[in-house]
A and B are shown apart, each in its own frame.
Chain A
Amino acid sequence: GQQVMQIPQYQHVQEGEDFTTYCNSSTTLSNIQWYKQRPGGHPVFLIQLVKSGEVKKQKRLTFQFGEAKKNSSLHITATQTTDVGTYFCAGESSGSRLTFGEGTQLTVNP
């Protein structure tokens, strides 16, 4: 079955440093979504990427979808303590099932 791998599992940064998490799917995706889960919370939708090579920005967050539609990345510039949480990528290939990656847990030291 479809697998979505995500690295790194953990990332500790000083406030102001950049952060990147990478996602790789075993199969070509129709779209990829990114979610953020705060400690003790539920996944909250951040963005969806559909087109090959697509790049989207949300303030300090930059999302990329690979040309082959099998990989993606999320980059945060100048992290803040409010960025703390686990970032999950979730891929859709067919149907409506989302296959989540293992997530990257980000901690930010003030």
Chain B
Amino acid sequence: EPEVTQTPSHQVTQMGQEVILRCVPISNHLYFYWYRQILGQKVEFLVSFYNNEISEKSEIFDDQFSVERPDGSNFTLKIRSTKLEDSAMYFCASSLTSQYNEQFFGPGTRLTVL
């Protein structure tokens, strides 16, 4: 069964450093998403991406964040200058279409900012 994959599974970084989280969505999916989940809390939407551009973003997704689809398979989330409060689990998801469609989540990347 096709699945979303994410690398690395765990990333530890120093405050102020840049990190890039990588995702490979399901191959025939057209919509891609990033969510984050602070430990013990709910899943929060960050951004959705379609046709090589951001289609929607939340208040959390400020200028420190960017997304890119550098080739036909990868989808990345970059955090330019990490803060302590960026520590969370980051989930990538993809869906075949936009609304009314199941989103498939990857296993997540646990980001720890020291």
Which positions in A face B, CB cutoff 8 Å? 1, 30-31, 33, 35, 41-45, 48, 50, 88, 90, 92, 95-103
- Interface 9-mer from B14-22, B64-72, B73-81, B91-99: B91-99
* B105 and A96 contacting across the interface, CB-CB below 8 Å: no
Given contacts A97-B45, A99-B45, A103-B42, contact A42 B31 (CB under 8 A): no
B-side residues, CB < 8 A to A, are: 31, 33, 35, 41-45, 48, 50, 55-56, 58-59, 91, 95, 98-108
Shortest distance in angstroms between A100's beta carbon and chain B's nearest beta carbon?
4
Task: Specify which chain A residues have a CB less than 8 angstroms from the CB of B44 in the assembled complex.
Answer: 100
> For residue A93, which residue of chain B has the nearest CB?
B99
Q: Which of B45, B55, B104 contacts A98 (CB 8 A)?
A: B45
C-alpha gap A1/B60 in the complex (Å): 13
Give me the 7 closest cross-chain CB pairs, A-B, nearest first.
Answer: A96-B98, A100-B43, A42-B105, A45-B102, A102-B42, A100-B42, A43-B105
Determine whether the beta carbon of B43 is less than 8 Å from that of A48: no
A residues in contact with B56, CB < 8 Å: 95-97
Contacts of A102 in B (CB 8 A): 41-42
Known: A43-B91, A98-B45, A99-B45. A31 touches B99 (CB 8 A): yes
**Nearest Cβ distance between residue B47 and chain A, in whole angstroms?**
9
Q: Which residue of A lies closest to B57 (CB)?
A: A97
How far apart are the CA atoms of A60 and B59 in the complex, in Å?
A: 38
Q: A42-B91, A88-B43 are in contact. Are A33 and B99 (CB under 8 A)?
A: no
In the bound complex, residues from chain B placing their C-beta under 8 Å from that of A98 are 33, 35, 43, 45, 103
B99 x A30 contact (CB < 8 A) = yes
In the complex, A109 Cα to B2 Cα: how many Å?
34
State whether A96 touches B48 (Cβ < 8 A). yes
